[in-house]
Amino acid sequence: MVISSAFDFIKVSLPCAKCGKDSLQPLRDLMPKSETVCPRCGAVIDLTNARTQAFLRKEAEKFKKIKPPRSL
């Protein structure tokens, strides 16, 4: 895998509506999905609501601008 920006390896904190805990999830994996599973309790986390979509887009844009060091 070629790493082109921080987007390729950054994780974001997602809250679970069922257990109330946050979990770190790879941003790159969340962007194309409509849902993910809470690793703590197994509940489905809906990624389609407008607030979550806006958060994911904002985070993706922020991290796509950060280039990795040349050693990667």
Between the two ends of the chain, the Cα-to-Cα distance in Å is 11
Q: Report pLDDT digits (tens) over 2-57.
A: 556 667 788 999 999 899 999 999 988 998 899 999 999 999 999 998 999 999 99
Q: What is the pLDDT of residue 41?
A: 96
CB 41 within 8 A of CB 53: no
Res. 1 pLDDT band, cuts 50 70 90: low
The residue whose two tokens read 């990795």 is 68
